[in-house]
């Protein structure tokens, strides 16, 4: 079985539960971050999007890290070795492992092919969307604002910190509401006749909102998030996360635009009038443009703008940020600690006529297992770590030719050898016949209360 197929299957298997785990943690964190402002809420959802894509790829030995942290804590807070209880953890210190039978090789290859086809579909759809958006921009008719509108645009550009001269205005019959496109040079697309129908304060609200998108370079960021999300784009919770990112982004731009036009309530009224003026707010789904009507959460946006603003500053804001980081750490630690590792079939490389095969120890069934004794001096010196042994399991299941391949210290090595030498396994069968097995055994010494 190819390692590539195993990698893809492990990513799919872990993403099935890790993506919802991160989403739930981000949902709780966003509720808290909302009190500190839309910007922090947006940061929470962007972080969630990155974690949902990357976590299923990570292979950190969290169990070992936790036990090292515990040992360090004992060393800091307890000066004597007698204060704790010694215990020995046997086996590889790693996340759960799923050993797949050899017969699933074709199924895994098919899963990999389906995943790659899905990834290709989402990639082509993204590229086609960008091509459609660029074609839409090129087909749009350039618009030269009149003097009064140009003066308003220049004033709003100064207030938002955006050079209005870098913005291109254009009319497109293919959109129903204002939209911003462009990576290097920003283009504001407008439906025909929109400028003539808008009152002055409503026009200010529209331009201020679109300028906020441009100043934040949201079109480029949206493209980047789409590319990052591609590996997990098939997951429904990834779709929900991207929706939350868009919603939080609109709240950030609403807050910026409200400051620019001189008031949250006035801006909220303009937002409602614009929504009534453009009842058909659906844009082509393939369009990657963003704009004031991008996220259809008008009720929440208006409530956010009109509620009494209690600005959170100083220690309170820092506490909220620290709690959000704690949510992220808890989600990451849980995802890594409970990660399912997909291992190769035990007989992948075995020749049916060979006298022995290499098998991972977790594929063997132990009948008798004697726990090693923690050496007194090692316990007193607070020695922790692993001893790795190479062994051959005979046809009768007894341990033969036991050797140390990774030493901890002599007394720990001897304790591990003395104990494992007494172990007995159920004979390993190949084609119904017992066969010798080569494997490695990890004996971990750790201190715990």
Most confident residue range from 41-55, 279-293, 418-432, 434-448: 41-55
Going by pLDDT thresholds of 50, 70 and 90, the confidence category of residue 151 is confident
Domain match, 316 and 422 both: no
- Please report whether residue 339 resides in a domain: no
Q: Could you give the 3-state DSSP secondary structure of residue 396?
A: coil
Q: How confident is the model at residue 122 (pLDDT cuts 50, 70, 90)?
A: very high
Q: How far is CA 8 from the centre of its chain?
A: 16
Same domain? For 265 and 364 the reply is no
- Residue 424 maps to a domain: yes
Record the pTM.
0.70
If one counts the domains in the chain, the total is 2
Q: What integer pLDDT is reported at residue 240 of this predicted model?
A: 94
Residue 433 included in any domain: yes
pLDDT at 84: 40
- For residue 11, count other CB atoms closer than 10 A to its CB: 19
- Residue where a domain terminates, one of 333, 362, 397: 333
Do both 294 and 410 map to the same domain? no
In a domain, 86, yes or no: no
Is 85 within a domain?
no
- With tokens 């220690």, the residue in question is 315
Same domain, 179 and 272: yes
* 394 and 306 both lie in a single domain: no
Q: Are residues 327 and 362 in the same domain?
A: no
Do 359 and 327 belong together in one domain? no
Q: What are phi and psi of 411, to 5 degrees?
A: -70, -35
Q: Output the six-digit token pair for 430.
A: 């190949």
Structural domain containing residue 427: 351-449
Domain boundary among 333, 368, 400: 333
- Does residue 121 surpass a pLDDT of 80? yes
Show which of 333, 361, 391 is a domain's final residue: 333
Assess contact for 86 and 447: CB atoms under 8 A.
Answer: yes
Task: Inform me whether the pLDDT recorded for 77 exceeds 80.
Answer: no
Residue 427 lies in a domain: yes
Q: What is the structure's pLDDT at 348?
A: 43
With cut-offs at 50, 70 and 90, classify the pLDDT of residue 418. Answer: very high
Same domain, 307 and 357: no
Assigned domain for 301 exists: yes
Asked if residue 371 and residue 300 are part of one domain, the reply reads no
Q: Identify the band that residue 20 occupies on the pLDDT scale cut at 50, 70 and 90.
A: very high
Residue scoring higher pLDDT (204 or 149): 204
pLDDT tens digits for range 31-63: 988 888 889 999 999 999 999 999 998 876 554
Strand 436-448 and strand 356-358: the pairing is parallel
Residue 360 within any structural domain of the chain? yes
Higher pLDDT, residue 201 or 119: 119
Please, which pLDDT band fits residue 355 given cuts at 50, 70 and 90?
low
Structure tokens at 367: 């009948």
Check whether 289 has a pLDDT greater than 80: no
- CATH code, 356: 3.30.2420.10
Quote the pLDDT of residue 233: 94
Quote the CA–CA distance of 200 and 356 in Å, as a whole number.
84
Domain co-membership, 316 together with 410: no
Question: 3-state DSSP call for residue 312?
Answer: coil
Binning pLDDT at 50, 70 and 90, where does residue 277 land? Answer: confident
pLDDT score of 329: 92
């Amino acid at each position: 079985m190819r390692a590539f197929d195993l990698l893809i299957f492990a990513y799919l298997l872990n993403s099935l539960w890790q993506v919802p785990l991160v989403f739930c943690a981000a949902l709780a964190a966003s509720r808290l971050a909302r009190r500190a402002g839309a910007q922090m809420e947006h940061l929470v959802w962007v972080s969630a999007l990155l974690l949902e894509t990357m976590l299923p790829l990570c292979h950190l030995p969290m169990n070992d890290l936790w036990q090292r942290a515990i040992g360090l804590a004992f060393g800091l807070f307890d000066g004597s070795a007698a204060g704790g209880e010694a215990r020995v953890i046997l086996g590889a210190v790693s996340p759960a492992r799923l050993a797949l039978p050899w017969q699933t090789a074709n199924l895994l290859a098919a899963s990999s092919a389906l995943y790659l086809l899905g990834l290709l579909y989402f990639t082509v759809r993204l590229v086609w969307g960008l091509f459609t958006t660029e074609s839409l921009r090129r087909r749009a008719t350039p618009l030269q604002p009149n003097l009064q509108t140009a003066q308003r645009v220049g004033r709003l550009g100064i207030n938002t910190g955006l050079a209005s001269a870098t913005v291109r205005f254009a009319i497109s019959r293919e959109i129903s509401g204002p939209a911003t496109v462009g990576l290097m040079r920003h283009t504001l697309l407008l439906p025909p006749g929109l400028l003539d129908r808008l009152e002055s304060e409503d026009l200010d609200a529209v331009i201020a909102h679109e300028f906020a998108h441009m100043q934040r370079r949201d079109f480029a960021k949206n493209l980047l998030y789409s590319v990052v999300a591609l590996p997990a784009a098939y997951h429904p919770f990834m779709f929900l996360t991207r929706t939350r990112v868009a919603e939080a982004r609109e709240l950030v731009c609403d807050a910026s635009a409200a400051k620019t036009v001189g008031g949250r309530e006035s801006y909220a009224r303009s937002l409602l009038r614009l929504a009534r003026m453009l009842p058909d707010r659906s844009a082509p789904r393939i369009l990657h443009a963003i704009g004031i009507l991008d996220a259809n959460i008008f009720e929440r946006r208006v409530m956010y703008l009109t509620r009494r603003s209690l600005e959170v500053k100083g220690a309170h804001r820092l506490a909220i940020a620290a709690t959000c980081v704690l949510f992220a750490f808890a989600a990451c630690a849980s995802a890594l600690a409970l990660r399912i590792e997909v291992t190769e079939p035990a007989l992948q490389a075995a020749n049916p006529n060979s006298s022995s095969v290499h098998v991972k120890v977790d594929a063997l069934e132990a009948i008798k297992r004697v726990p090693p004794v923690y050496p007194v001096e090692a316990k007193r010196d607070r020695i922790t770590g692993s001893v790795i042994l190479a062994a051959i399991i005979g046809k009768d299941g007894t341990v033969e030719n036991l050797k140390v391949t990774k030493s901890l210290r002599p007394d720990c090595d001897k304790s591990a050898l003395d104990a494992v030498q007494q172990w007995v396994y159920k004979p390993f069968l190949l084609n119904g016949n017992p066969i010798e097995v080569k494997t490695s055994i990890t004996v971990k010494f750790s201190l715990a209360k």
